[in-house]
Structure 1
């Protein structure tokens, strides 16, 4: 019998293979269209703190999306990898220094303010039509979101991916966090009546 870990690894590899096969120019265009959808569909204001992420490899480039939300008043933050199990979210301020992080990504310098996001743009490898996601295997986001929940906070969780990353069913585990919505090139999709 195949273990959940092995099954997730297989689904992750297949979904990422499909994403990697997308035309690079098309990915840029789709990312820009998704930024427009986010601007029109995700309501933000001065109290909104949006956590984005610096795109790696063939991920959706959420930077235009983040900047569109900032134009509507949101503060921005990016994950900072603290160790092998923990990330926090540091404020992204125009002109502030950025530093290299693990996995080839970058984030705000350690002097940046640590924020608790109210809206999280969540990276993922694969997702299903119930809002379950497969991340990259390290569990950073599951733990970070669980810590926010433990503080009594309920950030709006918006997965960001391309349609080709959808799988029939993600095998779930107790620690998995279910997304409220997913934003793809075909629009913003809500799960299970999530608000």
Structure 2
């Protein structure tokens, strides 16, 4: 698997096309397998705040995993886009109404509490074996993580993806924040990052 020096945009388009090509039934089965791996591997303190996401397009469906984490006392939240630069994480309460958002998303309305996650389950378009990720190009998660770091918080960053989204090498800058782990249908893979704050 080589990336041939391709740009993030090229890798993103290629890996999203591969993800889109997974038949819907197979996508459901893989998502359930991912949830099973995550249930065994993701550890947190009682009452920890875990941000998940409500899937759009061909994303992994993390809702079975999120339900399990809630049953283990996690307090769940999901990202909501406020403007062209900002996402916040609003509490996801069972039975609460979800309102339409940007890019075909749904999420809790403005009355929901805004929370700072301790663990972040993050969608992505591509990743590599060193824990580098390519998002969707908007930089929303990067800015949200930076804001959390400025507040002295260091959430555990867990990418959620299918195996077909792995690439040999993601182009990265020194300031890029790497994932702590990746969770795919093959299992949970932690990454070692000497020196990363």
Q: TM-score range by the shorter chain?
A: over 0.9
Residue in 1 that maps onto 2:118:
118
Residue in 1 that maps onto 2:51:
51
Preserved CA contact (<8 Å) 1:142 1:175: no
Residue in 2 that maps onto 1:182:
182
Structure 1 runs of 4+ aligned residues shifted over 6 Å read: none
Unaligned 5+ segments in structure 2 are: none
Equivalent-residue separation in structure 1 for 2:155 and 2:114 (angstroms): 15
Equivalent-residue separation in structure 1 for 2:175 and 2:36 (angstroms): 33
**C-alpha displacement of 1:37:** 1.3
Equivalent-residue separation in structure 2 for 1:175 and 1:142 (angstroms): 10
* Equivalent residue runs for 1:37-186 within 5 Å: 37-186=37-186
Equivalent-residue separation in structure 2 for 1:176 and 1:101 (angstroms): 27
Total equivalences in the alignment: 190
Deviation string for 1:95-119 (max 9, x for gaps)? Answer: 1121111000111110100000000
- Alignment of 1:8 with 2:4, yes or no, is no
Provide the secondary structure at the position in 1 that maps to 2:19.
helix
Preserved CA contact (<8 Å) 1:54 1:61: yes
**C-alpha displacement of 1:176:** 2.3
Equivalent-residue separation in structure 1 for 2:152 and 2:44 (angstroms): 20
TM-score between the two structures when normalised by the length of structure 2: 0.93
Moved more, 170-179 or 87-96: 170-179
Equivalent-residue separation in structure 2 for 1:11 and 1:144 (angstroms): 23
Preserved CA contact (<8 Å) 1:44 1:73: no
**C-alpha displacement of 1:190:** 0.9
Provide the secondary structure at the position in 1 that maps to 2:37.
helix
